[in-house]
Amino acid sequence: MIENIYHSDISIGLRIKELRQAKDMTQKEFADSLGIVQGFLSGIERGKKSPSDTLLIALCHLYKINKEWLYTGRGDMFGKTQLPDKLIEEFVTTRIPLLKRIPQGFPDSLKEEDICDYVSLPNGPQGCYAIITYGDFMAPTIRDGDLVIFNSGGELSNKNIVLVNNRWNEAILRRYRVAGNEIFFSPDNPAYAPFKQDNNTKIIGTVVDVWRKVKI
């Protein structure tokens, strides 16, 4: 009898689910650690979506699992996996979803169609999202065309730069400022005025990194 050595999307999806459960992680936590959206992970676990080779390599390296077990089900889940140095170096970059829009109810409502691309950053923060900023409201700190990386959770401190929905439900970057019992969102560019928090403003995330193209 000839053994079929090729993995099926259904069986490998079940093993990925088994790994996630062994790590006691929710789908969102596990998806964030890999730089993918929860809906895509759900599809993989149900055999409806195909994981890329890059994603499988990422799983092996990040969670120290046996590649043979992941692909075929043979052997132990955890064990030393021999991966080429080039692939390991490639993986230490983090793939971060680049959003073309931020839907209401973000991040739980995020879908694949809300993502226009993925950006790979060396040793980038896990579980974050990226946007391209427009305008000079946060200049000179953040400029038009900068790549902004933000975290949808985490602690919020005075003077953090945040992504916030204004009263017109637009996602904008502003600096979070606390003055007594009041909260303001102010631009770094003095040409624009700050505004006070009200019932229509909602903080979407906190900026953790900014990348800029420089012409040389």
Alpha-carbon distance of 171 to 191, in angstroms, equals: 19
pTM of the model: 0.59
Using CB atoms within 10 A of its CB, is residue 203 exposed (0-12), middle (13-18) or buried (19+)? middle
Instruction: Report the chain's mean pLDDT, rounded to a whole number.
Output: 82
- Quote the pLDDT of residue 122: 64
Could you tell me the domains of the chain?
9-91 (1.10.260.40), 95-211 (2.10.109.10)
Q: Which residue has the tokens 């459960």?
A: 21
What 3-state DSSP class applies to 84?
coil
Predicted local confidence at residue 87, as pLDDT: 47
Each residue's pLDDT, cut to its tens digit, for the chain (216 residues) gives: 223 333 455 688 899 999 999 999 999 999 888 878 888 888 889 887 878 777 888 888 888 888 888 888 888 888 755 545 454 444 456 778 899 889 888 888 888 889 988 887 766 677 889 999 999 999 999 999 999 999 987 788 999 999 998 888 889 999 999 999 999 999 999 999 999 998 888 899 999 999 887 665
